[in-house]
Structure 1
């Protein structure tokens, strides 16, 4: 993997982080007008539609036969379905959580996926290093300062975001595996379609789908659909294709910074002094696993140092 490809991947992933960070603001704003599942259903549908022209154009330019394109689409559809299930769970928990917490806090808690991934890697028989443990400790202390109340409980929205972080961790790991052997645009399309369909089903069963509410939320929906879903999820897959999971994770964790900036300037959200220190500790916890190993044993096996949706 050459440095030029790595640099391109890093820039794509940083742009992804920026789009996702401000998407927390759009998603929270959208909750003022419609339910979380309805919002996700529509934004994912918009994201899927935005990808169709690009997929058709690239298929036309690829020089592949109709049969080859069909085989590629079928393979991406199967992979996209399973990735879409994970995406649906993570996005649903995130959206519900945003009803009860701020955009900045939601982003920082979601960013814990970078700490969770190394521990999930243990199930894949990948060694856990000292950096990951140190990062996890700092992140947990930061989470406590940011979110835990005086009665030692997490707020409802914060708890949803925390559970969702585990699904974003799984999403990063599975994307890393599948993006290297699947058409990335088609994979992105089918994961988005899966999440949209599932969201529509749940919305129809649990929420009132109000057209007037959707109209009032049109700007957040367009940003959340076309930019956050159609563009950013695709950039994630393309960027991860030439990046290590750890590299992708640390860059995409910058979404937390962009979310806090957006929450402050657009929504007027403020953090307490305790919350600010909590955020700083969580950032430390996200960065430490990506630094040179504190202790490295010769002949050690495969290691995941860290790695989102």
Structure 2
């Protein structure tokens, strides 16, 4: 046991496995929470508790406040990464299975690559282009199959919302690189979540004021699990890991999240796993792997 703890590489991978497991099962709890309250109300509770927990960690670590000129950029990241992403995801979860939703959202690296070409001046190599096309084909296989199978309109709209959420997440990553790259990631995460939560609270008040909210033991557990554990604590550990592992390994390891999300949704929520989802997921994972690994090789070549 002592030897295991001293094996830093093995410990890092153990932490990655635990984090991605927690993020995967969080999708099930996000879906289950809709039986107790509206999607925006749950998001407000979740990220409210998550933001408070993250800010307490920042205070405990005695981190300084961001520079004044960076506050506006942090607000933008908060709107893109927290407000838009999770309002759309939670609304989409009303009509789309949790497992499928997690797969669609984790197409984010594909959209990040597209946006990085436009706004960061990155070039698309042949391998990266192939990866993007493969990933897009996988996404079309998942969503397009539903479209041609004449599923209900709400499901198609829900899937479209989650795609937009993935694009917004990718945009927040690019914006961070443009405007906030020099700031500590944990500091940015804490304050962007704070501002993003304000946007979610505003949406909840406007859209769900007066709707029933059942704060029972189970629903409170969902809020605490997704807000404190999956958001605040897991992100804190994740940022520590990012200082110890390379970005490609980090990016590819997040592909475990939709895999776990699909598995737990099947086990706990009895959601069906169709062949279109399996084949589409494989193509998306392959596409992201190709774009990330080819990009890393290019950086090494420079």
TM-score bracket for the superposition, by shorter chain length: 0.7 to 0.9
Change (3 A) 1:45 1:14: same
Change (3 A) 1:175 1:159: same
Contact 1:176 1:245 (C-alpha < 8 Å) held by counterparts: no
Deviation at 1:258, TM superposition (A): 1.2
Contact 1:176 1:240 (C-alpha < 8 Å) held by counterparts: no
Aligned residues: 287
Q: Which runs of 5+ in 2 are unaligned?
A: 1-6
Deviation at 1:7, TM superposition (A): 8.2
Residue number in structure 2 paired with 1:85 = 79
Deviation at 1:172, TM superposition (A): 2.9
Deviation at 1:119, TM superposition (A): 1.3
Change (3 A) 1:281 1:73: same
Deviation at 1:82, TM superposition (A): 2.5
Write the distance in 2 (CA, Å) between the matches of 1:176 and 1:5: 29
Deviation at 1:177, TM superposition (A): 6.2
Contact 2:108 2:167 (C-alpha < 8 Å) held by counterparts: yes
Write the distance in 2 (CA, Å) between the matches of 1:188 and 1:19: 18
Residue number in structure 2 paired with 1:104 = 99
Contact 1:76 1:182 (C-alpha < 8 Å) held by counterparts: no
Q: Which runs of 5+ in 1 are unaligned?
A: 63-68, 302-309
Residue number in structure 2 paired with 1:259 = 261
Contact 1:180 1:241 (C-alpha < 8 Å) held by counterparts: no
Residue number in structure 1 paired with 2:3 = none
> 2:124 aligned with 1:128, yes or no?
yes
Write the distance in 1 (CA, Å) between the matches of 2:75 and 2:16: 23
> 2:47 aligned with 1:44, yes or no?
yes
TM-score (norm 2): 0.81
Write the distance in 2 (CA, Å) between the matches of 1:225 and 1:185: 16
Change (3 A) 1:271 1:151: closer
> 2:234 aligned with 1:232, yes or no?
yes
Residue number in structure 1 paired with 2:89 = 94
Change (3 A) 1:119 1:243: farther
Change (3 A) 1:244 1:171: farther
- Bigger mean CA offset, 284-293 vs 155-164: 284-293
Change (3 A) 1:236 1:92: farther
Deviation at 1:141, TM superposition (A): 2.1
Write the distance in 1 (CA, Å) between the matches of 2:196 and 2:39: 13
Residue number in structure 2 paired with 1:138 = 134
Residue number in structure 2 paired with 1:150 = 148
Residue number in structure 2 paired with 1:185 = 186
Change (3 A) 1:127 1:243: farther
> 2:271 aligned with 1:269, yes or no?
yes
State the SS of the aligned residue for 1:119: helix
The alignment's C-alpha RMSD in Å is 3.2
